[in-house]
Structure 1
Amino acid sequence: MAAQRIGVLLVHGLGGTQYDLGSLHKTLQKAGVETHCITLPGHGGQPQDLIGVMMEDWLEAVEKQYLEIAPQYDVLHIMGMCLGSLIAVELAKRMRHAKGRLIALAPPVFLDGWSTPWYRAVRHLVYRLPGLARRMRVAEEEPYGIKSDLVRAMVKARFARGDNFHYPWVPLSCIEQVDRLRAVVQRDLDRIQCPTLIVHADEDELTSPRSAYFLAERIGHDRTRVVILQNSYHMICVDNDRDQVAIEVLRHLQLDTAVVKVRERKTSQRVQERLRRANAGLAQNALL
C-alpha cells in the first residue's frame, strides 16, 4: 500500500514571514511532510503595504491556498503562529477541517501579556478618528518577543542591518484588523472538530496563557491539548523552548520526534562570545 501524502499549511505572524516559525518547516520536511508557507497580503514587502489590508484579505488568501492544495494530500494539517494561529483556527472552523489536525502557536486571542502595549488602552478610540490609525506606527521593540539574550541580540542586529525577515513597524490600522479577527475567532469555536494542539508561553509578553485556555475550553477539552512553555516569551518557535515546540508539533501530528536534535545548552563562554559578535555588528551598523 502506498504511503500517505501528508502536507502542512503554515501561516506566519503579523509583520512577519515564514521565519516566525523558525526551522519548523525544515523539521517537518525531515519527518516526511510537505510544507506550504503562505505570505499573507501586505507582507513580504514594506510596512506601508499593510495600510488598507483587511482581515478578510488574510482569510481569503489562506482559504484559497487551502482549497488549492487540499486535493493533493491524503492528510493536510493547518498550523499558524501569532496572527497566523488566529487565521488557522478560523480556517479550521470555516472549512469544518477534518482532513488533518490543527496547531495554534502563541494565539493572541487576548492582548493581555505582562508587557502591555502602549496602544492597548487607547487604540479603540483612535480607530474612530478617520485616517489616524493608518498614520500611527506600532514599532517592534525589545524584548522582540524573545527571552533568550543571545537570540534577542541576533534579532536586534538583523533589524539594524535592515534584513527583510520581519517589519520594524506596522500601522495601527493593522492592529485594528487583528482586533476584528480576534472577535470573529472567539465565536463558534465548537465547530472545530479536528484534534487541536495549542502551545503558549507562560511568560508571553503579548498574550497571556488565558488565550490558550479559552480556546481549549471553547473548542472542547476532548479535542484539545494545551502545552505551556516555561522558558520563552511570545516568539516560541525561535526562543529557548524551540526544540520542545518542534517535538510537541511532531507528536501531535503523529510523526517521528527523533528528527529533532535537541540542542545542548551552550557554555557561558560560548554564549558570551556570540553575544559579543552580535553586539559588535550592532555597533558597526551604528557607524554606517
Structure 2
Amino acid sequence: MKTKTGALLIHGLGGTEYDLGGLRKTLGKAGIDAHAILLPGHGETPERLATIRAEDWVGAALARYEELAAQYDEFHIIGMCMGALVSIALCDAVAHTKGRLVLLSPPVHIDGWKVPWYGAIRHLFYRIPGLARRMKVREAEPFGIKNPLMRGIVRSRMERGHNLHYRWVPLASVRQVDRLRRRVKRCAGRITCPTVIAHARADELTSLRSATFLESRIADARTVVLENSYHMICIDNDSHLVEQTVLKFLGLPAQAPSRFSRRLQERARAA
C-alpha cells in the first residue's frame, strides 16, 4: 500500500510561503501534499506584527500540525529562517517522530556580515517602554539574495508594497525571534527525528555557527553548506540544490531544474 505523505512549510519573519520559492511545487510533483501556513501577523501590513508573540507563531504551527498530521502516514516539517526556529519548537512540543525535519537558514545566532550596527545592542532598546513596537527594522539590500535577477524582482515588489514580504518589521518582532532563539537553544537536544540543515556560507544574517550548533545538539542531523547564496537560499543561486537536497533527504527522486531555476543559474554564471 502506498504511503500517504504530507509536509508543513513554515515561512520566515515578515514573509509568506514565497520565502520557500518553488519548494511547495517541487514537493507536489514528487507526490507529497505540501501545506504552507501563514503565521499570525503576516500577509497584511507590518503593523500587525507589533503585538504578536513567539507563542502565537508556535501555537499556530501546532494547531495546523495537529489538524494535518493525523491524515498522513508520514508528515514532514520544513522551516525557513524564523520558520526553522518555529519548526524546532513545534517538533519539541509534539515529540515529532512521524516524519523528518528540514531547517533552511536557521538563525540560532544573529551574527551575519550584514547585521545592522545596532544589532548587538538591540536588547537595550527592548527595555525602553514602547520603543520596540514603534521602531522599524527595514529590509535593505541585498535582501538576503546574491542573484541580481532575483534581487531586482524582490526590490521591485517591495517598492510596490507587495505583501509577499514586508518592507520592514517592528523591532518588537525581532525581540520575539530572540525569544524563539533562546527556546531553540534549550530544546534542540530533545529533537530525535532525522534532520537536515541547509545553510549558506555567506549568509548575511546568520553565520554557519547556527548550523554547527544545531548539528551538535540534534542527535540525527547533518548540514549541507551552500556556496553561492545569501540568506534566502530557496530563491537564490542555490535554489535548485536546496530542492534536490530536500528531495534526497525525504527519499524522493531528483527533478530537473525548473525554468526559473535555470534562469537564476544562468544569471549567476554571468555575474
Counterpart in the other structure of 2:234: 237
Aligned counterparts, 1:150-161, within 5 A: 150-161=149-160
| Mapped contact 1:246–1:260 kept (Cα < 8 A) | no
Asked whether 1:96 is paired with 2:111, we answer no
Offset of 1:267 from its aligned partner?
A: 6.8
Distance 1:124 1:157 in 2: 32
Offset of 1:116 from its aligned partner?
A: 2.1
Q: For residue 233 of structure 1, give the secondary structure of its aligned residue in structure 2.
A: coil
**Aligned Cα RMSD in Å?**
1.6
AA in 2 matched with 1:61: A
Distance 2:100 2:202 in 1: 26
| Mapped contact 2:149–2:267 kept (Cα < 8 A) | no
Q: TM-score, normalised by structure 2?
A: 0.95
Distance 1:190 1:177 in 2: 21
Aligned length: 268
| Mapped contact 2:10–2:36 kept (Cα < 8 A) | yes
Counterpart in the other structure of 1:124: 123
Distance 1:209 1:236 in 2: 13
Q: For residue 189 of structure 2, give the secondary structure of its aligned residue in structure 1.
A: helix
| Mapped contact 1:27–1:259 kept (Cα < 8 A) | no
Q: TM-score, normalised by structure 1?
A: 0.90
Distance 2:32 2:78 in 1: 13
| Mapped contact 2:134–2:170 kept (Cα < 8 A) | yes
Change (3 A) 1:68 1:259: farther
Q: For residue 40 of structure 1, give the secondary structure of its aligned residue in structure 2.
A: coil
Q: For residue 35 of structure 2, give the secondary structure of its aligned residue in structure 1.
A: strand
| Mapped contact 1:27–1:260 kept (Cα < 8 A) | no
Distance 1:235 1:5 in 2: 30
AA in 1 matched with 2:127: R
Asked whether 1:146 is paired with 2:145, we answer yes
Asked whether 1:266 is paired with 2:270, we answer no
Offset of 1:19 from its aligned partner?
A: 0.1
Aligned counterparts, 1:58-73, within 5 A: 58-73=57-72
Offset of 1:159 from its aligned partner?
A: 1.1
| Mapped contact 2:147–2:267 kept (Cα < 8 A) | no
Aligned counterparts, 1:1-288, within 5 A: 1=1, 3-220=2-219, 223-258=220-255, 260-261=257-258, 263=262, 265-266=265-266
